[in-house]
Structure 1
Amino acid sequence: MSGNTRDPLNPREDCRKTFCPAIMRRQILILGFACGIATIRWPLAGVVSLAVMIVVYARSWRPVFFWAVVLLCFAGGYWYAGNQSPNSTDQSLELPSEKVQLSGKIRSVTGRPGKRWQVVLEDAAFVQVPGASSQRLDGGVVWYWHHAPFRPRPGQFVTFQTSLNRVSGFGNPGAWDYGWYWRAQGVEFSAYCSGMKHVSFDALPDSVLGDFRDTLRRNLLSITPEGQGRAMLLALLMGDRFELAPSTINLMRQAGLSHTLALSGLHLGFVASLGLILAWGIGALFPRIYLWIPRPKLAVLLAAPLVAGYVWLGQATPSLVRASLMFAFWGGLLVCGRGRILLDGLFLAVLCILLISPLALFDIRFQLSVVAVSGIALLYPFVHSVLPRGDGYRRIAAWAVGLLGVSLCASVALLPVTAHLFGMITPNLLMNLFWLPLLGLVVMPLGMAGMMLGVVSWASPVAGVLLTSAAMLLEWMLGVVEAVGAAGMLPMWRLLRPLWPEMLGAAVVLICFILFSRDSRFLRWPVLLLGLLLLWGPHWWVGWEDASPEVRLEVLDVGQGQALLIRLPGGGRALVDGGGLRSRTLEVGRDVVAPYLTLGRPPRIGTIVLTHPHMDHYKGLVHLLEFFQVKKFFHTGHWPGGHWGDEMQALLKQAGIVPQVVRTGMRIVLAPEVELFTLMPPKGEEPPSTNDESVVLLLRWQGRNLALLPGDAEEWSLRQMVAMERDYSCPVLVLPHHGSATGVVPEFYERVSPKLGLCSCGRYGRTPLPAPELLVLPAMQRTLVADTATYGLLRVSWSRPDAHPNLTVGRPSRNMPVDTRMVRIELP
């Protein structure tokens, strides 16, 4: 190449004056290794990512031998991660349905919001009957201990009474696999209990460091005033979120500040900046020291022990350990006088982390950290080029703009990833400009100094002042955020969740933008077209799928509840119920239903029907009414009690939707020739219960019955339907009341004569679902029954009104390998 046409992707070129840091050959090898690891869970995404990387960089490095080495690294990553990935769950051990006495050794303890301890046990065993021999568990146990009076310590042995379950998540495509996450850490089972009843511990293990950490925690709690300021300070200094209220977590999420409560590289950066402050101070007292060691190197050396201490104080969580490795490599490169420390140090840290634990690639926190740092490294030079120059107020303005620029660069890079993972964004960057300086320059220094002084008896009064000041400042900062939110100035947007090709395409387009910003001659149009194809290709595929003349009924896996999605020809959608749990931390509408509905599609629902006002049917609708575009809403005329019903009515009024009361015989038109026909409740009769008040719907296409949706109808309603003259026989029946024994009416099932029975139920209820009394009915003996607890999402599709229904499931049966793909079951 001539001097005017240097390739910025080639590491042999001089890129010191460019906006695009060079990618070296060894870094390409690391990316190939990472693609191989990704392939064990995302086969197509891993292979396509490797191919795109080769297309982008093949022009810079022509030798075939180099790309053969890249393929070898890819294969090595696949083999290495495959050997460490969790095996299929062994279902040979039949867990008892009643409570057992469980014992085990505590491996780790993590504080969770809402005063819960997440305790991981190893060497666990259970006793089913007192006095019987114990049965050992082949795998760890994650134990959630609510309302605990004290913090247990790793190394202790504990015994308690609980129900024992297997770890599992919601089996909807595109959902985070909770079960795989825990199995990757050797945990196969879960348990829960509340309070100290039937809980006993042995003596505390001898541990000087453990005693010291407990002393620091007790000092902080005893010195600072009770409140969410203290809870946040405890989370920031020790990674302990035990005292944080769920309402605080929701407020911080709305403000786009929730990342500041989870210990990560951000907090480690605050601690490392103390080393820079110390270097400035020492230089002011002893200026000649800079002749021996430059200030940046001195800052690294002074920050190293602070970083190590903070990692220990924060219980060496995986995110802190990974951040400390990045700091170690960045600091090492700086001390050695190397340039490009941000990007080079990131690659070295990623390689080290993946060699130690290749499955860390699938950790959401690791993904977010790597993407955020990459965004800062690639985009911050643009911000730096426009910063104000000069002294005085210009320097202050430059600092403020630079801080906002760092947040902006990280946010831009994270946008496709956060949209895919969470489906929501909070465009509240200015809150970071308010929050982060106070957090990093005031709260963290005060807190760290107070923690260190608190262990010295004569300095405890000073420590109390420092810690109390930090807690009160956090309380005030939280009040400001709450006031801003109450004024309606903290918007949250529910977005279409991009598919993996779109995220890959966004990365390619970003690289092209950086190249074009340097010199338009470096823009490779075929690469840009490839990025645009990856961005828009999934939309074409979704549009083609929605345009197909097909009707689908999907029973979402929402635990013990019900949410039925009807997909219509032309892409329209209707929802019957929205699920709901009593959990204070897991919101089914936000965390389960909405993420599935927005996977590759915008947040729009044409029609919502609420069959009856029970929490496991309506609670998930609250989030959908707030963040989705809804056209019509139908219900029984009775609203849920308490604030949930008030909130639903307020959201409907705000959206300009007039709720319609369902009447028997009403036809709810969903699409041309597709309708929901209302069978129940009957006119003029008062049902004996809220369940019997359920709206019973008949899904029809061109006058043909496709599926019967009876909500939670029980014996009274079903007998009313038996007396009807109308034909409601259907090939598909959603089992009434989650398949419980309250709906055992043999004549009803004979009238329906279903070929397929779908049951929406939780995995770990007090009684087995579907009920054995229901399954032995003659009509059900001729029916294929599938439930969401076993199979995850259940999808039934009809290509024509008279076509045979086809069933696909989101999770294979227990005698099949664990996978996340949709598995097809052909009906006889």
Structure 2
Amino acid sequence: MMKLLTRYPFPPLIIVACLLLVGVVLSNYVGILSIHFPDRPAFLPKSAEICEGRVSRMASQRLRGLRLWVDDLHCRDGEWMQPVSGVAQLTVMGGAPSPLIGDRIRFRSHLHTPHRYHNPGAPDWERKALADGVAWTGSIESGDWMMVVKEGAWSPLRWVDQWRQKLAQQISTISDPYIQGSASALLLGNAGLLPDTLGDHLRYLGIIHLYVISGLHVAIVAWAAYELIYWLLSRRSRWALRYPLWRWSAAGAIVLVWIYAALVGMGVSVIRASVMISVYLLARIRDRHAHVGAAIALAAIILILQSPHVIFLPGFQLSFVAVMALVGIYPKLIQRFKIAQLRSRTLRWIGEAIIAASVATWATAPLVAYHFHQTPLLSVPANLLAAPYTTLVLMPLGLLWTVCSAIPGVSAFLQHLWVWAATPFVHVISVSGEWAMNSLWTFTPTIFEIVWWYALIPLSLWERARVKGIMTWCAVGLLIVSLHSYNYYKAQPLQITFLDVGQGASVLIEFPNRKTMLIDAGGAPGSDFDMGRWVVAPALLARGIAHVDTIALTHPHPDHYGGMAYIAEHFHPTTYLTNGAVGEERDPQWSAYMQRMMDAGMQATAVHNGMQSNEGDVQLTWRHPPVTGPDPIQNTNNGSLVADIQYGDFRAVIVGDVEKEAEGKLLQTDELGPVDVMQVPHHGSRTSSTEAFLNRLKPKIAVAQLGFENRYGFPHQEVVARYKRLDTALFRTDLDGAISMSTRPKSGMIIKKIGN
């Protein structure tokens, strides 16, 4: 293996590209086997609540609870504990003490298979769980619902875990959540404590990678370990004369690098960097030259063999693309611009930093836009200012604090010193991040556009046909721009998209005049999971929507308003419509929602029955039972807004959670008639979709928005039977994902399942 790594200069781009292709093929087979072991059936009793298992990885503290990974699972089925295959990922609420790796715990939780929201642009949590080897997920509602029944035996990993938890306890004493989250990310590789606002600012500036333990951190550890060991060994003259100290120093540095990798959680970028540095140090021990391309290939082999599905994760792709660009392009640009010939050391450093930041930003830009649908235009200057400070100040202080965390007085002093150094840095990020939010470019490239972007690499480096190649690349780029311009200016259809927001509702309407309306935004009752941030916003950005003109809340229930505040804060709607009702004053979720809407400058406009608006040739009429007046609706669901949308011969209705009483009131007038598309009322409950209501509307297509394996049993079978009797095509977001309907006058309707 060492001969392969030191003798043959394989091109890293070709090797890793081939490995990615192999990983795609193997992922359909190996990934499944890595979850379901052949000697144990994939078994989980539906009634199981009490389970036991062994903590298999180091715990990770998150804003929303403690994250644990448990294997060797046994769950109670009646009076017996039955084995369950696979690893369970658990979130413990309520500030529970963290068990150590190897401990056997008993807990109470409902386990379920990982599930994602099937919308365009949605994070692929199913694929990430598969890459992590996770077969089950669950939450433990209180720390009292978990106990350690048997402590694990001593092991090197358990010792590292104790060290990690001691440092985590010291970090938890920092009062400022921004500084605490920064320390957790930079010292422990745990970004789970980063406040959402700070994470957004880092992304807006394009410096979120500085808060991820990567090659730079590992290289500093390797250099410091090598120099320290060499210095200690050189203190003894006999050893210095008898043994080649650089070999022992390199061997010791390899060991310390992997201890550090275990301490910070063994992320993709950490493993990649640790493998590459280990290859370099092994080559130094054998007095050989380590080829960087072969080291990159070995790191990719190890990660893909561990889990083929890792190639689909943004972290894997961004990490390898960035390092390959720096290895392959950076030296050539340094040579081309003659940076090494500059007399001033400061100018050389500035030139090298500008080229490095530009190359990394240019190489990762398509992937950042593809996965996150936004490109920070201030990435290069932000990196030039932030990277030196984190590299030269925060990281060395953090490593010193980590090493001395077991010495009480020294660790307290280093903690205060690190906090003092990090405070102005985080403050500048917070201030500049607010301003940088307006410099984002919302764009989601196609696969063809990504290939076109990366085609510039060989064309620009190919000496013989550089001019012709770049001219061809520019011509294709102009063609892409022309196609985008044509699509922008041509007449647009009316498009209605029913998003998959779990057990909730959210409907996006894109009018032919390019204005947009969002009716409801989903939500998770009793949870701080922000449906707007993690589900609705990515779906909007994936469709190129950076501004929503109108938001409408059908009624004040958390499964409809839960994600609306984030949309109001980041998509700057001009109009906010409600039915005039308010939530319960004692409900903390509603109070928090109202405060965020006020902070976003949203003024609610109460819609009255029969209120109309026109968006081009589309007429939208609001119909709903009264929530105030002499005969108000008492049930909150029955007060839902009803949107009646007409575009030529096409008609659609969005009905929120209306039930039997509201449906009866809506039938008292002749305003509603046969429709082409209808939202299934109240997620398909038996209290809605009455025979009389369906017979009046006679929907051709109905869409039920509901959660996967929801606890309510929606949609009820009797409701499904009613739609079937009318020959209505019934779609379900829990099974079909997001459903989109588009139509033009006198041209029919196109229905697509657009959940990725």
What TM-score, normalized to structure 2? 0.83
What secondary structure sits across from 1:502 in the alignment? helix
Q: Tell me, in whole angstroms, the C-alpha distance in 2 between the residues paired with 1:663 and 1:612.
A: 14
Confirm whether residue 413 of structure 1 aligns to residue 363 of structure 2. yes
2:101–2:158 Cα contact (<8 Å) kept: no
1:509–1:528 Cα contact (<8 Å) kept: no
Q: Alpha-carbon deviation of 1:696? A: 0.4
What residue in structure 2 maps to residue 377 of structure 1?
A: 327
What secondary structure sits across from 1:108 in the alignment? coil
Residues 88 and 707 of structure 1: CA distance in aligned 2, closer, same or farther (over 3 Å): farther
Q: Alpha-carbon deviation of 1:383? A: 5.3
Q: Tell me, in whole angstroms, the C-alpha distance in 2 between the residues paired with 1:536 and 1:121.
A: 52
What residue in structure 1 maps to residue 563 of structure 2?
A: 620
What residue in structure 1 maps to residue 120 of structure 2?
A: 173
Query: Can you list the C-alpha shifts for 1:552-598, whole angstroms capped at 9, x where unaligned?
Result: 43211112222212345576654323333468775333332232233
What residue in structure 2 maps to residue 575 of structure 1?
A: 518
1:547–1:570 Cα contact (<8 Å) kept: no
Q: Which moved more, 1:599-608 or 1:758-767?
A: 599-608
Q: Tell me, in whole angstroms, the C-alpha distance in 2 between the residues paired with 1:664 and 1:777.
A: 28
What residue in structure 1 maps to residue 138 of structure 2?
A: 191
Q: Tell me, in whole angstroms, the C-alpha distance in 1 between the residues paired with 2:488 and 2:386.
A: 45
Q: Tell me, in whole angstroms, the C-alpha distance in 2 between the residues paired with 1:727 and 1:32.
A: 57
Residues 110 and 402 of structure 1: CA distance in aligned 2, closer, same or farther (over 3 Å): farther
Corresponding residue to 1:144 among 91, 97, 107: 91
Corresponding residue to 1:117 among 53, 66, 71: 66
Q: Alpha-carbon deviation of 1:245? A: 4.5
Q: Tell me, in whole angstroms, the C-alpha distance in 2 between the residues paired with 1:553 and 1:88.
A: 40
AA at the equivalent of 1:707? A
Q: Tell me, in whole angstroms, the C-alpha distance in 2 between the residues paired with 1:231 and 1:628.
A: 26
Residues 784 and 223 of structure 1: CA distance in aligned 2, closer, same or farther (over 3 Å): closer
2:102–2:153 Cα contact (<8 Å) kept: no
Q: Tell me, in whole angstroms, the C-alpha distance in 2 between the residues paired with 1:217 and 1:93.
A: 33
Q: Which moved more, 1:446-455 or 1:748-757?
A: 446-455
Q: Alpha-carbon deviation of 1:321? A: 1.8
Pairs within 5 Å for 1:227-238: 227=175, 228=177, 229-230=179-180, 232-238=182-188
Confirm whether residue 365 of structure 1 aligns to residue 309 of structure 2. no
Corresponding residue to 1:724 among 669, 674, 681: 669
Residues 190 and 32 of structure 1: CA distance in aligned 2, closer, same or farther (over 3 Å): closer
1:499–1:600 Cα contact (<8 Å) kept: no
1:502–1:536 Cα contact (<8 Å) kept: no
What residue in structure 1 maps to residue 586 of structure 2?
A: none
Confirm whether residue 559 of structure 1 aligns to residue 502 of structure 2. yes
Query: Can you list the C-alpha shifts for 1:423-482, whole angstroms capped at 9, x where unaligned?
Result: 234425555445433433333333333443455xxx653344334423443345334433
2:460–2:469 Cα contact (<8 Å) kept: no
Confirm whether residue 156 of structure 1 aligns to residue 103 of structure 2. yes
Corresponding residue to 1:346 among 296, 307, 317: 296
Corresponding residue to 1:711 among 656, 660, 680: 656
Pairs within 5 Å for 1:605-684: 605=548, 607-628=550-571, 634-636=577-579, 642=591, 644-645=593-594, 647-648=596-597, 651=600, 661-672=606-617, 674-682=618-626
Q: Alpha-carbon deviation of 1:310? A: 0.9
AA at the equivalent of 2:497? E
Q: Tell me, in whole angstroms, the C-alpha distance in 2 between the residues paired with 1:509 and 1:679.
A: 55
Corresponding residue to 1:691 among 632, 637, 650: 637
Q: Alpha-carbon deviation of 1:752? A: 1.7
1:731–1:756 Cα contact (<8 Å) kept: yes
What secondary structure sits across from 1:446 in the alignment? helix
Residues 587 and 409 of structure 1: CA distance in aligned 2, closer, same or farther (over 3 Å): farther
RMSD: 4.3
- The number of residue pairs the alignment matches comes to 730
Corresponding residue to 2:22 among 37, 40, 47: 37
Q: Tell me, in whole angstroms, the C-alpha distance in 2 between the residues paired with 1:376 and 1:534.
A: 24
Residues 445 and 375 of structure 1: CA distance in aligned 2, closer, same or farther (over 3 Å): same
What residue in structure 2 maps to residue 588 of structure 1?
A: 531
Residues 582 and 251 of structure 1: CA distance in aligned 2, closer, same or farther (over 3 Å): farther
Q: Tell me, in whole angstroms, the C-alpha distance in 1 between the residues paired with 2:396 and 2:537.
A: 40
What residue in structure 1 maps to residue 403 of structure 2?
A: 452
AA at the equivalent of 1:597? L
AA at the equivalent of 2:753? V
Residues 462 and 661 of structure 1: CA distance in aligned 2, closer, same or farther (over 3 Å): closer
2:117–2:535 Cα contact (<8 Å) kept: yes
What residue in structure 2 maps to residue 261 of structure 1?
A: 211
Q: Tell me, in whole angstroms, the C-alpha distance in 2 between the residues paired with 1:85 and 1:259.
A: 28
Q: Alpha-carbon deviation of 1:292? A: 12
2:214–2:270 Cα contact (<8 Å) kept: yes
Query: Can you list the C-alpha shifts for 1:16-64, whole angstroms capped at 9, x where unaligned?
Result: xxxxxxx9766575255235336x4xxxxxxxxxxxxxxxxxxxxxxxx
What secondary structure sits across from 1:126 in the alignment? strand
What residue in structure 2 maps to residue 17 of structure 1?
A: none
2:674–2:697 Cα contact (<8 Å) kept: yes
Q: Tell me, in whole angstroms, the C-alpha distance in 1 between the residues paired with 2:64 and 2:542.
A: 33
Residues 205 and 110 of structure 1: CA distance in aligned 2, closer, same or farther (over 3 Å): closer
What secondary structure sits across from 2:443 in the alignment? coil
Q: Tell me, in whole angstroms, the C-alpha distance in 1 between the residues paired with 2:246 and 2:513.
A: 61
What secondary structure sits across from 2:365 in the alignment? helix
Q: Tell me, in whole angstroms, the C-alpha distance in 2 between the residues paired with 1:694 and 1:345.
A: 60
Query: Any gaps of 5 or more consecutive residues in structure 1?
Result: 1-22, 41-77, 812-819, 821-828
Residues 37 and 669 of structure 1: CA distance in aligned 2, closer, same or farther (over 3 Å): farther
Query: Any gaps of 5 or more consecutive residues in structure 2?
Result: 1-7, 584-589
Q: Tell me, in whole angstroms, the C-alpha distance in 2 between the residues paired with 1:433 and 1:104.
A: 47
Q: Which moved more, 1:660-669 or 1:263-272?
A: 660-669
Q: Alpha-carbon deviation of 1:523? A: 1.4
Corresponding residue to 1:789 among 708, 711, 734: 734
Q: Alpha-carbon deviation of 1:505? A: 1.0
Confirm whether residue 182 of structure 1 aligns to residue 133 of structure 2. no
2:251–2:282 Cα contact (<8 Å) kept: no
Residues 669 and 576 of structure 1: CA distance in aligned 2, closer, same or farther (over 3 Å): same
Residues 306 and 430 of structure 1: CA distance in aligned 2, closer, same or farther (over 3 Å): farther
Confirm whether residue 700 of structure 1 aligns to residue 646 of structure 2. yes
Q: Which moved more, 1:194-203 or 1:575-584?
A: 575-584
Query: Can you list the C-alpha shifts for 1:707-729, whole angstroms capped at 9, x where unaligned?
Result: 22112223332221021122422
1:104–1:123 Cα contact (<8 Å) kept: yes
Q: Tell me, in whole angstroms, the C-alpha distance in 2 between the residues paired with 1:284 and 1:262.
A: 35
AA at the equivalent of 1:258? I
Q: Tell me, in whole angstroms, the C-alpha distance in 2 between the residues paired with 1:298 and 1:547.
A: 69
Q: Which moved more, 1:254-263 or 1:539-548?
A: 539-548
Q: Alpha-carbon deviation of 1:734? A: 0.5
Q: Tell me, in whole angstroms, the C-alpha distance in 2 between the residues paired with 1:668 and 1:37.
A: 54
2:504–2:706 Cα contact (<8 Å) kept: yes
Q: Alpha-carbon deviation of 1:192? A: 0.8
Residues 183 and 541 of structure 1: CA distance in aligned 2, closer, same or farther (over 3 Å): same
What residue in structure 2 maps to residue 43 of structure 1?
A: none
Over the matched positions of the two proteins, sequence identity in percent amounts to: 22
What secondary structure sits across from 1:166 in the alignment? coil
Residues 492 and 169 of structure 1: CA distance in aligned 2, closer, same or farther (over 3 Å): farther
AA at the equivalent of 2:429? V
What TM-score, normalized to structure 1? 0.76
Residues 480 and 806 of structure 1: CA distance in aligned 2, closer, same or farther (over 3 Å): closer
Q: Tell me, in whole angstroms, the C-alpha distance in 1 between the residues paired with 2:525 and 2:600.
A: 21
Residues 810 and 343 of structure 1: CA distance in aligned 2, closer, same or farther (over 3 Å): same
What residue in structure 1 maps to residue 587 of structure 2?
A: none
Higher relative contact order (CA 8 A, sep 6+): 2
